[in-house]
Amino acid sequence: MLPDEHFCQLQKHPEERFHRDRHTLEVGYRHIDTAEMYGNEREVGQAISRSGLDRSDVFVTSKLANDAHEPDDARRAFDESLKALGVDYLDLFLIHWPLPTRYDGDYVSTWKTLEEFYRDGRARSIGVSNFQPRHLRRLHTESDIPPAVDQIEVNPYLTQDELRGFCAEHQIAIEAWSPLGQGNVLDDPTIEAIARRVGKTAAQVVLRWHIERGDIVFPKSVSPERIKENIEIFDFELAGEDVEAISALNRNERTGADPDKFDGR
């Protein structure tokens, strides 16, 4: 399965997805992470516009398609994302994958195109996804605006300490994608034991672990009960030793593609 492919499959049920997005806003989520690749920008936009919320109350992120890294294609793709979402600005726009083996490895020109969207105000902030320290270093030396965030795969089995350290040093916020390891970490005995002790579910403990480490999270669920469960994480804290015990579960195990090899196809 390609990275993110399961989101593309959701496209088969746009009506169901629209109601789920609306429920998500009703229970209090205000940060929506979408992408051209997920094929759901239209339903996300509809859910926002019919929610009764002000546009300014919702933080909307989308991402550049892997086939649109050439500057003119990126400009077109950005316009299309705005149109599909029915908004005149994005809070955050990301390069979805660095694709170092494609486009002559020139993600810098793509980044400079995102800088245009930032300068003209249609992207309130710009960032990257799946960038490794060497990719970030190039942006640092060859471009003007540093990425506001790097959205990377992080979960208790993939703690990404080196990359998180680099980002902390360069004031790049971390967004943790697949924060629950796509559900794979939830039956870990260490996590289950902490969950029992603090009276929360394993998913809530893992999401709280991300928050304690300072990362931004957006778990995904198709279940209304789990969507509600996953936001009920602001009424408890984890002790330092519990955060450390979960971090010690690291196995450097990815569920998604290797950003250095993935060519987006």
Contact positions vs ligand NAP (CB under 6 A)? 3-4, 33, 96, 129-130, 151, 177-183, 186, 201, 203, 218-223, 226, 229-230, 256
Indicate if 38 belongs to the active site: yes
Order across the sheet with 59-64: list the strands: 31-33, 59-64, 92-95, 126-129, 149-153, 173-177, 216-217
- Which residues, at least 6 apart from 202, have a Cβ–Cβ distance to it below 8 Å? 185, 186, 187, 188, 191, 192, 195
**174 closest CA partner among 157, 184, 162, 186:** 162
Residue 240 C-beta: closest distance to ligand NAP, Å: 24
Cα–Cα distance measured from residue 176 to residue 151, given in angstroms and rounded to the nearest whole number:
6
Three-state DSSP at 265 gives coil
What's the min distance (Å) between Cβ of 259 and ligand NAP?
9
Q: Which is nearer to ligand NAP, 87 or 191 (CB)?
A: 191
Nearest distance in Å: CB 133, ligand NAP: 17
Please compute Rg for the chain using Cα positions. 18
- The active-site residue, picked from 29, 38, 103, 118, is 38
Tokens of 241: 């030793």
DSSP string for residues in 2-67: -TTHHHHHGGG-HHHHHHHHHHHHHTT--EEE--GGGT-HHHHHHHHHHS---GGGSEEEEEE-GG
In the complex, least distance from residue 52 CB atom to ligand NAP, rounded to whole angstroms? 23
Q: Which residues are catalytic?
A: 38
